[in-house]
């Protein structure tokens, strides 16, 4: 049909260079020599002034890593990575560690300003300007309102500033960089670090354990509801540098925290490696909500450059009635390999995974989740929306398993894929494993294109084709968008529109 | 306002010719009824007017306010004032009806060089229009047409028509699936919109609708052509005697 | 077939490699066939697949195939009555075809040993990939079977039943069937026997333009047997294939189904029931390729798991780039009736064309408590009520076949399973 042909033609002319965050900033940096060895790990550990147990932990992981092979089961293709051709540590010279806002290099502050990340507490206190859309949402009975957001800003390998620390401390919440936590709260770090993602977990997680440079640490004590949203913003700036952040969030009994993560990187021809590890621990009756808007540089129209995003994220519902909820909007990166998972260990615990993955150009996404039901009466819910355009490949890979003792385990999975153009691929690979007769699993998946009938209907109301498609796509992902805090939801919707620009006719 | 000249059109996919030399003129302020048996090309005509790409015009022209619209895409036609009330309005999951109305109304305004509506003004207009059609605002918070009953969908179409203020309204079998009360409400909604600078093309299979929306002219469509035109008495004649007589006359 | 050479061979691997050496002089085949056999045994020398090979993730053949019986020339299998009365029966007893072949109009039958000897089926012996362990095992050892050719336009009134029966030892058979343009046939593939045999069986079906075939695989091996089977089909233009698979036996069973819709208008239906009991492992793995535009498929699999049985269903639907307007739907529903049993499902969609409608659904559940309550409220005791509901759950799939003689025959097999396992 002509409409389809038209769409395809436009996809051919695709321009992924719509990436708005591709600028680079000239900042004096302190770098480790290129390559990876025990000496480099000692260098990183010394730079961070770490205790000896931490160094030993890293070295053990490194020795383990030397025996591992890169996984090949994901549906992604890329040239072999030379792990000796990467800088494992790069920090802005002027900022040796987290400081007050007034000490941060003004150039770095400019970067965050340009990215639209509020680092000045007074600005944030003034309240986020309500947008047109949010008012309308209110009119539509969507009453989610979020207040202030505390930010940990990680620039290349180090955290440059963390806002609202004092106010959070009054509530008993610890929010700081992981480097600081290792120095200031070693007992907590030692107790929980590696307890969800062990150093031996997988190739990239093991590498991260050896070389991680910074990341965020959150501790919400018993009975505390964190008074504001917490967020970390990652920015990769330096060339040939890998980013290996490590995030650890602990919610004690009855605690609640909502955490947001965002990221961007400059446009470059070379691929850059990002191998993060995120560990969440929820004790009895605790709830952790973890949202990500992933917008690393995706590469150019020919598929040159872009971030390799090889990430291990896992939450442990360790306590009874605990709940962990992952929400992700994935629009960036050349390659994404990421499966935020829940171990439902506590009785009556709940896991959720809400995902939107948009791929365009030559992006490759292999993402999904694992819901491991171990405790009694555990339940999980998976909603995944994949949108493939251009020449991209978009795979959902998810595992749901109920172990022998997981009586009354419940899962509902829905994964839908949308294809735009005929040069891309959408793939669905669910694994369902039931070892308990009382388990109830329900899985449904569909793949289709945007309905011509829907598009015609919307256009008949005067809405131009590209907007009509963006509208329908945003409708398609609504179930997931609704899970995001308001500010992120609006951003995410815009981002999806930008990511698909030029791909739709 | 609308002038269809010797129109021939076929289905792109398989080449079947549906419209075979159709001529029709509708003046500003006129309500023209198109009637005809099943398969005569009534719905196809509405799709072609709105610019659906599944059909290809092979001959003839469609002039709207004196200009050919054949090269315009559906959105351009809509912003120039052509509105189609669908026989089967599409369900669009996840897109809130309110959000959709706002985007559509602002596209109309943009085409006219006007500023986007302020939210309070927008809400006011929607509330008024909904009240006149006896529609519950709660319905408008739901995704567009999703889970609406047949009658609710038709009402939502008329609501959109009211809010978008088109110049040429094409109503495709708007009466189908409506009970008598809903038919009354919908017809009142349409009648309220009648004005000297607005034209209506009312496509229907039965005379029933025309008791409520009284037409200025009636045209019988058969095998892709207008085979007979007349005033509202033609519709009554068809109701009493069926299409066979008219078809026989034309043949 | 394993990318990492295994440090040490398992006893089963060693037994297979040794048996090949012993059997070589007895295996029929011209030069081309013997070359294929050599390639196949080389693949086995690289090691049987483990769970690290994605397509064998839930059936670690290297671990599960813990013993390989010797070839047993003295084993005597007895022919059995066909499931549909009046069928033309072609039996393979302990791996050997018969010499007396029934005459059916429009059907040509040849013993496979002849086709191996003259090399005319050599091209069909290729394996399809490095993880094709069943294909390799069969190609290495296949000694007999039947080649069936159904002429263009032939309309068979009665089914052809291909029986593969063992009484121990090993049997490796192949059943290539060609169905001509416009022909219509019902083919029954019976897999049964006694003892602790190792069977590999490969069926290869080619459907000509407009042909219509219903193929029933009825697998009722004893709970001591290892049954490794493949069903491969190409569906031509406007041809229709309905494949029904019933697994109701075997200790270690893997039934692979590889179907390719190669002509526009091709339609494929898969209906399967897996009745799993005892300490057994049953794996049904399907790969369906929609290779051209305008093809359709539906797959419905129903599983009942009792005892310590482990079941697997993997179903992958590939929609190729130019296969626009594909319509494919797959469903896999499991009743897990025992806490010692388990079932793993992996329904995959691999889609490279945009103008398609594809979907899959999968459920694992208990018996519906409302239904159970309803029946009990009508005075049916719980055990009978459960039995009725479980049977209805699988019988639904059989009833869809819409051919009275076949439905009756399959329901009889179903009843028999429930009598022994209910």
CA distance B9 to B201: 19
| Residue among B53, B75, B92 whose CB faces A1 most closely | B53
Element (H, E) at A443: strand A440-449
Mutation pick from A426, A440, A452 vs chain C, by most beta carbons of C within 10 Å, is: A426
DSSP-derived secondary structure for B222-251: ETTEEEEEE-HHHHHHHHHH-SHHHHHHH-
- How confident is the model over A217-237, as pLDDT tens digits? 999 999 999 988 888 887 777
**The pLDDT of residue C151 is above 50:** yes
CB-defined contacts A:C, below 8 A: 114
Do the chains contact at B53 and A461, CB–CB below 8 Å?
no
Strand ranges, E, within C138-210:
144-150, 160-166, 170-179, 184-193, 198-207
CA distance C283 to A219: 46
**Closest approach of chain C CAs to the CA of A436, in angstroms?**
5
Count of residues in chain C = 422
More confident residue, B122 or A500: B122
CA distance A425 to C168: 47
Whether B148 has its CB under 8 Å from any CB of chain A: the answer is no
| Residue among A452, A457, A468 whose CB faces B86 most closely | A457
Contacts of C343 in chain A (CB under 8 A): 433-434
**Closest approach of chain C CAs to the CA of A9, in angstroms?**
14
**Closest approach of chain A CAs to the CA of C203, in angstroms?**
27
Do the chains contact at C359 and A445, CB–CB below 8 Å?
yes
| Residue among A421, A423, A434 whose CB faces C343 most closely | A434
Q: Which chains have 3+ CB pairs within 8 A of B?
A: A
Asked if residue C176 lies in contact with residue C207, where contact means CB atoms within 8 angstroms, the answer is no
At residue B251 the predicted structure's pLDDT band, cuts being 50, 70 and 90, is low
Closest CA to C284 of C258, C250, C304, C255: C255
Whether C368 has its CB under 8 Å from any CB of chain A: the answer is no
pTM: 0.86
Contacts of C348 in chain A (CB under 8 A): 427-430
Mean pLDDT, residues A151-155 taken together: 78
Q: What is the mean pLDDT of chain C?
A: 93
Asked if residue A475 lies in contact with residue B93, where contact means CB atoms within 8 angstroms, the answer is yes
Do the chains contact at A462 and B141, CB–CB below 8 Å?
no
Region of poorest pLDDT, from A79-88, A274-283, C15-24: A79-88
Contacts of B141 in chain A (CB under 8 A): 140-141
Return all residues near C382 (Cβ < 8 A) that are at least 6 apart.
C372, C376
The edge-to-edge listing of strands for the beta sheet with B199-204 is B82-85, B168-172, B199-204, B31-35, B217-222, B225-230
Alpha helices in C118-215 (DSSP H): 133-141
Region of poorest pLDDT, from A59-68, A374-383, B228-237: B228-237
C positions 301-340 inside 8 Å of A (CB): 321, 324, 334, 336-339
| Residue among A420, A431, A447 whose CB faces C349 most closely | A447
Mean pLDDT, residues A109-129 taken together: 54
- How confident is the model over C233-275, as pLDDT tens digits? 999 999 999 999 999 999 999 999 999 999 999 999 999 999 9
Contacts of A467 in chain B (CB under 8 A): 103, 107
Q: Where are the domains of chain B?
A: 2-250
Do the chains contact at B92 and A475, CB–CB below 8 Å?
yes
Do the chains contact at A440 and C366, CB–CB below 8 Å?
yes
Class of domain B2-250: alpha beta
DSSP-derived secondary structure for B4-48: EEEEEEEETTT--EEEEEEEEEE-TT-EEEEE--TTSSHHHHHHH
Mean pLDDT, residues A304-324 taken together: 94
Residue A175: the pLDDT is 92
Residue A121: the pLDDT is 52
Tell me if residue A318 falls in helix, strand or coil: coil
More confident residue, A125 or A188: A188
C vs A contact (3+ beta-carbon pairs below 8 A): yes
Mean pLDDT, residues B52-70 taken together: 94
In terms of C-beta density within 10 A (0-12 exposed, 13-18 middle, 19 or more buried), how is residue A6 classed? Answer: middle
Residue A98: the pLDDT is 46
Q: Which chains have 3+ CB pairs within 8 A of C?
A: A
Pick the residue from chain A with its C-alpha nearest to B84: A460
Cα angle C297, C298, C302 (rounded to 5 degrees) comes to 150
Contacts of C339 in chain A (CB under 8 A): 404, 436-438
Residue A229: the pLDDT is 86
Tell me if residue C209 falls in helix, strand or coil: coil
**Closest approach of chain C CAs to the CA of A446, in angstroms?**
4
Do the chains contact at A140 and B98, CB–CB below 8 Å?
yes
**The pLDDT of residue B159 is above 50:** yes
- How confident is the model over C87-141, as pLDDT tens digits? 999 999 999 998 888 889 999 999 999 999 999 999 999 998 889 999 999 999 9
Residue A112: the pLDDT is 67
- How confident is the model over A316-338, as pLDDT tens digits? 999 999 999 999 999 888 999 99
**Closest approach of chain A CAs to the CA of B34, in angstroms?**
21
Residue A135: the pLDDT is 41
Whether B94 has its CB under 8 Å from any CB of chain A: the answer is yes
Contacts of C346 in chain A (CB under 8 A): 429-432
SS3 content of chain C, % helix, strand, coil (to 5): 25, 40, 35
Q: Where are the domains of chain C?
A: 74-369
At residue B198 the predicted structure's pLDDT band, cuts being 50, 70 and 90, is very high
At residue A101 the predicted structure's pLDDT band, cuts being 50, 70 and 90, is low
Mean pLDDT, residues B235-249 taken together: 84
Per-residue DSSP letter, A59: H
C-alpha torsion B118→B123→B124→B129, nearest 10: 130
């Amino acid at each position: 049909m002509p409409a389809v042909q038209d769409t395809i033609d436009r996809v051919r002319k695709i321009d992924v260079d719509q990436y708005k965050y591709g600028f680079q900033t000239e900042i004096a940096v302190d770098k480790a020599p290129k390559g990876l060895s025990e000496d480099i790990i000692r260098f990183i550990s010394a730079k961070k002034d770490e205790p000896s147990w931490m160094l030993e932990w890293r070295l053990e992981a490194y020795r383990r890593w030397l025996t591992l092979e890169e996984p090949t089961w994901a549906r992604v293709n890329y040239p072999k990575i030379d792990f000796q051709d990467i800088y494992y540590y790069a920090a802005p010279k002027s900022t040796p560690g987290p400081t007050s806002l007034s000490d941060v290099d003004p150039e770095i502050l400019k970067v965050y300003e340009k990215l639209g990340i509020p680092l000045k507490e007074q600005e944030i206190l003034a309240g986020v300007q309500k947008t047109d859309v949010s008012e309308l949402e209110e009119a539509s009975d969507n009453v989610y309102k979020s207040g202030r957001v505390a930010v940990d800003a990680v620039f290349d390998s180090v955290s440059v500033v963390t806002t609202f620390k004092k106010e959070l401390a009054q509530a008993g919440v610890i929010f700081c960089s992981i480097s600081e936590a290792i120095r200031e709260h070693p007992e907590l770090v030692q107790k929980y670090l590696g307890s969800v993602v062990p150093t031996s977990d997988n190739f990239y997680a093991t590498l991260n354990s050896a070389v991680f440079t910074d990341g965020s640490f959150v501790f919400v004590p018993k009975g505390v509801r964190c008074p504001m949203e917490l967020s970390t913003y990652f920015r990769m700036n330096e060339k040939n540098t890998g980013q290996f952040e490590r995030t650890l969030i602990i919610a004690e009994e009855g605690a609640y925290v909502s955490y947001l993560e965002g990221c961007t990187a400059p446009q470059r021809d070379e691929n850059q490696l990002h191998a993060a590890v995120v560990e969440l621990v929820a004790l009895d009756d605790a709830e952790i909500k973890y949202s990500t808007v992933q917008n690393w540089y995706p590469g150019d129209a020919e598929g040159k450059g872009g971030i390799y995003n090889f990430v291990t994220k896992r939450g442990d519902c360790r306590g009874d009635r605990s709940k962990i909820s992952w929400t992700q909007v994935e629009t960036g990166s050349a390659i994404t390999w990421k499966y935020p998972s829940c171990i439902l260990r506590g009785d009556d615990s709940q896991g959720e995974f809400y995902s939107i993955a948009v791929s365009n150009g030559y992006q490759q996404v292999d993402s999904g989740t694992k819901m491991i039901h171990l405790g009694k009466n555990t339940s999980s819910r998976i909603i995944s929306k994949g949108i493939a355009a251009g020449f991209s490949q978009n795979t959902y890979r998810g595992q749901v398993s109920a172990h022998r003792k997981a009586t009354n385990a419940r899962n509902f999975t829905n994964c839908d894929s949308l294809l735009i153009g005929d040069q891309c691929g959408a793939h669905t690979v669910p694994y369902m494993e039931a070892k308990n007769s009382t388990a109830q699993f329900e899985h449904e998946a569909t793949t289709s294109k945007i309905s011509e009938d829907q598009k015609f209907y919307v256009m008949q109301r005067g809405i131009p084709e590209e907007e009509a498609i963006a509208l329908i796509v945003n409708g398609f992902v609504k179930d997931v968008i609704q899970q995001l805090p308001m500010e992120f939801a609006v951003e995410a919707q815009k981002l999806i529109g930008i990511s698909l620009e030029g791909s739709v006719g | 306002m609308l002038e269809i000249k010797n129109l021939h059109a076929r289905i792109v996919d398989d080449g079947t010719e549906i419209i075979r030399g159709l001529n029709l003129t509708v003046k500003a302020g006129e309500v023209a009824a198109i009637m005809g048996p099943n398969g005569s090309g009534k719905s196809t005509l509405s799709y072609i007017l709105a610019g659906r790409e599944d059909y290809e015009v092979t001959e003839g022209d469609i002039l709207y306010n004196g200009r050919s619209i054949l090269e315009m895409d559906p959105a351009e036609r809509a912003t120039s004032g052509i509105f189609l009330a669908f026989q089967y309005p599409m369900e669009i999951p996840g897109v809130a009806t309110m959000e959709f109305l706002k985007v559509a109304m602002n596209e109309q305004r943009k085409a006219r060089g006007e500023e986007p509506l302020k939210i309070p003004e927008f809400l006011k207009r929607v509330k008024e229009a909904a009240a006149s059609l006896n529609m519950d605002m709660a319905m408008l918070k739901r995704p567009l047409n999703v889970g609406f009953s047949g009658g609710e969908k038709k009402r939502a179409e008329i609501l959109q028509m009211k809010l978008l203020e088109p110049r040429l309204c094409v109503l495709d079998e708007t009466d189908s699936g409506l009970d008598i009360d809903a038919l009354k409400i919908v017809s009142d909604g349409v009648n309220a919109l009648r004005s000297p600078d607005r034209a209506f093309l009312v496509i229907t299979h039965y005379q029933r609708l025309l008791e409520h929306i009284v037409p200025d002219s009636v045209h019988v469509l058969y095998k892709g052509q207008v085979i007979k035109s007349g005033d509202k008495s033609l519709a009554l004649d068809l109701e009493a005697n069926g299409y066979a007589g008219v078809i026989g006359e034309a043949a | 077939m394993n990318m990492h050479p295994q440090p040490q061979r398992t006893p089963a691997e060693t037994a297979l490699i040794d048996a090949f050496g012993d059997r070589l002089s007895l295996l029929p085949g011209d030069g081309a066939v013997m070359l294929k056999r050599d390639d196949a045994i080389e693949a086995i020398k690289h090691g049987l697949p483990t769970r690290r090979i994605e397509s064998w993730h839930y059936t670690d053949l290297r671990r599960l195939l813990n013993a390989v019986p010797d070839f047993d020339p003295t084993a005597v299998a007895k022919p059995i009555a066909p499931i549909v009365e009046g069928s033309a029966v072609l039996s393979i007893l302990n791996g050997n075809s018969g010499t007396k072949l029934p005459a059916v109009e429009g059907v040509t039958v040849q013993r496979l040993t002849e086709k191996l000897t003259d090399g005319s089926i050599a091209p069909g012996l290729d394996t399809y990939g490095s993880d094709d362990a069943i294909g390799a095992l069969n190609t290495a050892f296949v000694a007999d079977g039947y080649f069936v050719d159904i002429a263009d336009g032939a309309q068979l009134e009665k089914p052809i039943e291909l029986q593969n029966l063992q009484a121990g030892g090993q049997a490796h058979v192949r059943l290539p069937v060609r169905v001509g343009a416009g022909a219509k046939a019902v083919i029954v593939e019976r897999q049964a026997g006694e003892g602790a045999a190792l069977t590999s069986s490969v069926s290869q079906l080619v459907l000509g333009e407009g042909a219509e075939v219903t193929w029933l695989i009825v697998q009722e091996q004893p709970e001591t047997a290892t049954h490794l089977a493949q069903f491969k089909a190409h569906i031509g233009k406007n041809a229709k294939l309905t494949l029904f698979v019933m697994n109701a036996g075997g200790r270690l069973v893997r039934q692979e189904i590889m179907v390719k819709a190669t002509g526009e208008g091709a339609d494929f239906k898969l209906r399967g029931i897996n009745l799993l009991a005892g300490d057994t492992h049953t794996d049904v793995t399907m790969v369906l390729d929609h290779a051209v535009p305008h093809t359709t498929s539906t797959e419905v699999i129903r599983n009942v798991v009792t005892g310590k049985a482990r079941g697997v269903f993997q179903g992958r639907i590939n929609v190729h780039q130019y296969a626009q307007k594909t319509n494919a739907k797959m469903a896999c529903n499991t009743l897990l009736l025992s806490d010692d049993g388990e079932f793993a499902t992996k329904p995959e969609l691999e889609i490279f064309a945009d103008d398609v409608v594809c979907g899959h659904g999968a459920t694992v559940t208990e018996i519906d408590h409302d239904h159970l309550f309803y029946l009990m409220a009508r005075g049916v005791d719980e055990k009978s009520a459960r039995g009725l509901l479980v049977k209805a759950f699988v019988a639904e799939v059989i009833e869809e076949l819409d051919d009275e003689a076949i439905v009756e025959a399959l329901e009889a097999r179903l009843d028999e399973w429930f009598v022994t396992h209910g």
